[in-house]
Amino acid sequence: MAMSNSTLFKSECFINGNWMSAKNGATIDVHNPFNRELIGTVPDMGISECREAIEAAHVAFKEWRDYTAGERASILKQWHQLQLDHVDELARLLTTEQGKPLAEAKGEIRYGASFVEWFAEEARRTYGDVIPGHGRDKRITVIKQPVGVLGAITPWNFPNAMITRKVAPALAAGCTVVIKPSELTPLSALALAELADQAGFPKGVLNIITTNDAPAIGNEFTSNRLVKKISFTGSTRVGKLLLRQAADSVKRISLELGGNAPFIVFDDADIDKAVDGAIASKFRNAGQTCVCSNRLFAQEGIYDEFLNRFSEKAKGLTMGSGLENGVHIGPLIEDKALSFVKEVVADAQQGGARIVTGGKVSADNDLIYEPTIIANPTTSMKVFNEEIFGPVAPVFKFKTEEEVISLANDTNYGLASYFYGRDYARIWRVAEALEYGMVGINTGMLSTAVAPFGGVKESGIGREGSKYGIEDFLNIKYMCWGGVE
């Protein structure tokens, strides 16, 4: 690719401040999902290299935790600035390996960098307490200390931001990290490592390994006594497995898992704004985000109007290479993802739902699926019960507030939810009744570094971003002072 001469284009992993190949010489091919061309290769590392990275992080932790908050913040701010200085390069690399439109990729780079800036500032705010003693001769103090080495496992759909969202609070708190990015999109991770090196992090503070054997690395993270915390973003199935494994050593764990987000439009909503919000929420990254609206609900009085306007907007979305100007919908990440999208659409058709627009693979690219709107689906269909992770929007009809709340909550997931309406009493009732960690009210976009990102039920444990995001990387230590007389 054109970036192969860039200093950010790396074909080795980053361990203890050094760029390294796999000990056995094995590599992983990285392909552009739009044209399936080979972009480059990265090391296919195993348990040996993973342990080396963990040990390097453990040694570095002893030094890094003793840096003042201001010293850590200074290096994080430099890393933040370098990411902003290289937005165009990072975005082009991201689009090439992941497929999303370049404008979205640039947005992701800036979004990812915002977590580094935020937590650089939060490093100085990990306050403790002085508590009134329980006896005249007693004094009580509470301090917060970094937990230790973090094992981070990140997904392919946001290969930049999912790293910075985990790593920035860990580093700010004084932890060190070993990151395993997705084997489908490792280049963005390695580019971040290069910029971290330029920013001046001490050796071993940030390490990245790439592998085709994710289960083995996950098992090493959960079983290695030097790893004190796990942070994972990915499928609920894998998250449950890591949770079980981490239980054996009672490790701290954060999980950001699957979603089945409802998007509700009440009859008093601003339809134009609701349509725009639905387009932004559903079709960003071709529907491949955990907070995408998955099930859309329109009240019966405005159902047809919303469906028609939504469909017309979806028809206007441009498909193609993410590197081309004006493209809204890029390719799905791989054939397996495409097969699942085709499966859920076929299931809806067989059950009697109507395809309003889309419903097939693009004639110009075999990994691009047309923006698809489905009318009159039912709750027995896969589009209601499964996380679609593609550009497919089923629109359900409902009558009452009580009915739609019941439908929206009828899932094991509880990550993001959205609704549009103008009745403020109802807004409060619905927002409180939705069983989700995040609620977008009259907006289809809710992710920001300043707010806590995370879910309830089977969508995960813990929060990322905001003042709450650093707490999972800190241990609370209570000190009781006696003999103060």
Closest C-alpha among 465, 435, 428, 473 to residue 448: 465
The CATH number that applies at residue 127 is: 3.40.605.10
**Mean pLDDT score, 277-299:** 97
Q: Let me know whether 220 and 341 are in one domain.
A: no
Q: Say if 485 falls within a structural domain.
A: no
- Which of the four pLDDT bands, split at 50, 70 and 90, describes residue 4? low
Q: Let me know whether 307 and 182 are in one domain.
A: no
pLDDT cut 70: percent of the chain above it: 99
Tell me whether residue 51 is exposed, middle or buried, using C-beta atoms within 10 angstroms of its C-beta: 0 to 12, 13 to 18, 19 or more: middle
Q: Say if 483 falls within a structural domain.
A: no
**Mean pLDDT score, 45-61:** 98
Q: Let me know whether 244 and 348 are in one domain.
A: no
Q: Say if 128 falls within a structural domain.
A: yes
Split into its structural domains, the chain has a count of 2
Q: What is the DSSP string of 182-208?
A: -TTS-HHHHHHHHHHHHHTPPTTSEEE
Task: State which amino acid sits at residue 431.
Answer: A
Q: Let me know whether 75 and 141 are in one domain.
A: yes
Q: What is the span of the domain harbouring residue 91?
A: 2-258+458-478
Cα 322-190-205 angle, rounded to 5 deg: 145
Q: Let me know whether 286 and 237 are in one domain.
A: no
Q: Say if 190 falls within a structural domain.
A: yes
- Length of the chain (residues): 485
Q: Which residue has the tokens 């913040």?
A: 73
Strands (DSSP E) along 91-186, which ranges? 129-131, 139-146, 149-153, 176-180
Whole-number pLDDT of residue 3: 62
Closest C-alpha among 247, 71, 286 to residue 172: 71
> pLDDT for 64-111, tens place per residue?
999 999 999 999 999 999 999 999 999 999 999 999 999 999 999 999
Kindly tell me if the per-residue pLDDT of 1 is higher than 70.
no
Task: State which amino acid sits at residue 201.
Answer: F
Residues 6+ apart with CB under 8 A from 215: none
Q: Let me know whether 287 and 323 are in one domain.
A: yes
Q: Let me know whether 443 and 462 are in one domain.
A: no
C-alpha separations of 239 from 22, 290, 422 in Å: 27, 14, 38
Q: Say if 162 falls within a structural domain.
A: yes
Q: Let me know whether 126 and 274 are in one domain.
A: no
CB 171 within 8 A of CB 249: no
pTM, full prediction: 0.96
Q: Say if 484 falls within a structural domain.
A: no
CB 107 within 8 A of CB 120: no
Catalytic residue numbers read: 256, 290
Tell me whether residue 137 is exposed, middle or buried, using C-beta atoms within 10 angstroms of its C-beta: 0 to 12, 13 to 18, 19 or more: exposed
**Mean pLDDT score, 139-164:** 98
Kindly tell me if the per-residue pLDDT of 183 is higher than 90.
yes
Helix, strand or coil, per DSSP, at residue 280 = helix
Q: Let me know whether 207 and 68 are in one domain.
A: yes
Q: How far is CA 445 from the centre of its chain?
A: 14
- Which of the four pLDDT bands, split at 50, 70 and 90, describes residue 2? low
> pLDDT for 222-234, tens place per residue?
999 999 999 999 9
Q: Say if 41 falls within a structural domain.
A: yes
**Mean pLDDT score, 259-272:** 97
**Mean pLDDT score, 396-422:** 98
Q: Let me know whether 251 and 306 are in one domain.
A: no
Specify the pairing of strand 252-256 against strand 206-208.
unpaired
Q: Let me know whether 235 and 268 are in one domain.
A: no
Q: Let me know whether 322 and 217 are in one domain.
A: no
- Which of the four pLDDT bands, split at 50, 70 and 90, describes residue 485? confident
Determine phi and psi for 396, rounding to 5 degrees: -95, 150
**Mean pLDDT across the chain, nearest whole number?**
97
Whole-number pLDDT of residue 49: 98
Lowest mean pLDDT among 3-17, 85-99, 372-386, 399-413: 3-17
Whole-number pLDDT of residue 6: 82
Whole-number pLDDT of residue 5: 61
C-alpha separations of 133 from 139, 141, 476, 482 in Å: 5, 9, 17, 10
CB atoms within 10 A of CB 2: 9
Task: Output the furthest CA–CA distance in the chain (Å, rounded).
Answer: 83
Q: Say if 334 falls within a structural domain.
A: yes
